[in-house]
Amino acid sequence: MKPDPRNIRIADYTYTLPEERIAKYPLDERDASKLIVFSGNTIRDKQFTDLPGLLPEQSLLVFNNTRVIRARLFFEKETGARIEIFCLEPLTPFDFSLNLSSGPGVEWKCLVGNLKKWKDGEVFCTFLINNRKHILRAGKREKLGEAHRICFFWDDSTITFGEILNTLGHIPIPPYLNRQDEDSDITRYQTIYSKIEGSVAAPTAGLHFTPSLLELLEERGFRKAEVTLHVSAGTFKPVKTEKISGHEMHVEHFIVTRKNLEELIDRNIVAVGTTSVRTLESLYWLGADIIAGKRDEILRVSQWQPYETDTEIPSDEALRALLSLLDEKGIESLQVETGIMIVPGYRFRIVKGLITNFHQPASTLLLLVSAFIGDSWRDIYNHALNNNYRFLSYGDSMLLIP
């Protein structure tokens, strides 16, 4: 009988990370970072620019092309109190692109800073677009877990909420950097291939890629595919329970196209980042559900679904089931919610290799890495700590080939 992954103790998946090992800023050159290569149970030190000579032949690299929005807004009350509003996900309109292109009013699920100073009433801030002064107001509605429903409204229907964020908003760099965002973060906390706005955190494994490196990978015969998963602030949410069963996994939204699905079939897939892993593995469970006759109006993968379903459906068959769903509905893409939690004991169905950064102690991302390579994660992290690697979002990287 297999052990229940819900009984995993988070204390078994932690390590000591000195503050000085956290990379507070990126290197001058994106691809100048160091790279640990783990394959065949051996650890090697390389540079990220060595990647084209290290990947398995015929690999398909899968990137997350989401783009980070300037999700942090600062307001004032009439009393002068400063209120921070952190936009997590759109509510009305629900679709990211539609919401960001809407005006003059939208609703978002938001975290509120200095909440005790905002009991009632509206908060406001002023901004300039085309040399005209405008006022953005925000009203607090019902509580949504740790967040609130926030209504934003402004005085000009020709201005979109996306324009307002780009004018007023701040890049939501990770809290563990312990600094304010700076102008450089606008470009550096963004992958060079980011396209679809919606994330409040960057898929940081992709921050190392440069145009020249992508060109070299293509010249070496490696193919590239893109998916879109909008990374939520929940990616930084610490696990505060003794056992992982008590941790509620954050839900993220992703989009996959017909072209994506066709590219993935019968490929040796190397995921760039844990968000790509969550997307790809979620596709398998969606396809398995369709084959099993489970159909819901909203496509979603729940936190524990992979551990509650015993199936041997081949990965390509699951992907083809999703293509059949597109044909049946007469559409070209699927929008999906996933709360999948990948922990030790999970069996990977689609991903064969992983490029990722070093993650926080006692985090769900570290659990995912452990699920992928087993207890070897300890050797890798100890090696990185002993050899001056830089950690977390702006830090160095790993290539993991179990």
Specify the CATH number for the domain of residue 247. 3.40.1780.10
Beta pairing partners, 144: 147
Residue 233 binned pLDDT confidence (cut-offs 50, 70, 90): confident
| pLDDT value of residue 81 | 86
Omega of the bond prior to 361 within 30 degrees of 0, cis?
A: no
What are the C-alpha distances in Å from 356 to residues 23, 54, 353, 359?
15, 15, 10, 9
pLDDT tens profile 270-323: 999 999 999 999 999 999 999 999 877 789 999 999 999 889 999 999 999 999
Q: What is the pTM of this model?
A: 0.94
* Strands 252-257 vs 223-230: parallel, antiparallel or unpaired: antiparallel
| pLDDT value of residue 252 | 92
Residue 237 binned pLDDT confidence (cut-offs 50, 70, 90): confident
Residue 2 binned pLDDT confidence (cut-offs 50, 70, 90): low
State yes or no: pLDDT of 379 exceeds 60.
yes
Q: Cα torsion at 239, 242, 243, 249 (round to 10°)?
A: -20
Residue 251 binned pLDDT confidence (cut-offs 50, 70, 90): confident
Please tell me the distance from the alpha carbon of residue 209 to that of residue 84, in angstroms, as a whole number. 32
Give every strand in the sheet of 59-64, ordered side by side: 42-47, 34-39, 397-401, 351-357, 268-272, 59-64, 223-230, 252-257, 333-338, 300-301
**For residue 88, what are its two tokens?**
């997590």
Omega of the bond prior to 211 within 30 degrees of 0, cis?
A: no
State yes or no: pLDDT of 1 exceeds 50.
no
Residue range 68-94: mean pLDDT, rounded = 92
**Domain tally, the chain:** 2
Residue range 131-145: mean pLDDT, rounded = 93
Rounded to the nearest integer, the mean pLDDT of the chain is: 94
Does one domain contain both 229 and 341? Answer: yes
Alpha helices, H only, 242-301: 258-264, 274-291
Given a contact cutoff of 8 angstroms between Cβ atoms, the answer to whether 112 and 84 are in contact is yes
Angle at which helices 274-291 and 315-329 pack, to 10 degrees? 70
**For residue 276, what are its two tokens?**
């790509």
| pLDDT value of residue 119 | 86
Does one domain contain both 100 and 48? Answer: no
Report the SS3 class of residue 252. strand
pLDDT tens profile 113-133: 999 999 888 999 999 998 899
Out of 169, 200, 225, a domain closes at: 169
**For residue 299, what are its two tokens?**
């496509």
What domain range includes position 336? 5-67+186-401
Does one domain contain both 307 and 366? Answer: yes
Give domain status of residue 363, yes or no: yes
Out of 169, 202, 226, a domain closes at: 169
CA 143 to chain centre: 24
DSSP secondary structure letters along 370-382: HHHHTTHHHHHHH
Does one domain contain both 318 and 375? Answer: yes
Does one domain contain both 332 and 247? Answer: yes
Given a contact cutoff of 8 angstroms between Cβ atoms, the answer to whether 64 and 276 are in contact is yes
Does one domain contain both 75 and 55? Answer: no
pLDDT tens profile 176-215: 999 999 999 999 999 999 999 999 999 999 999 999 999 9
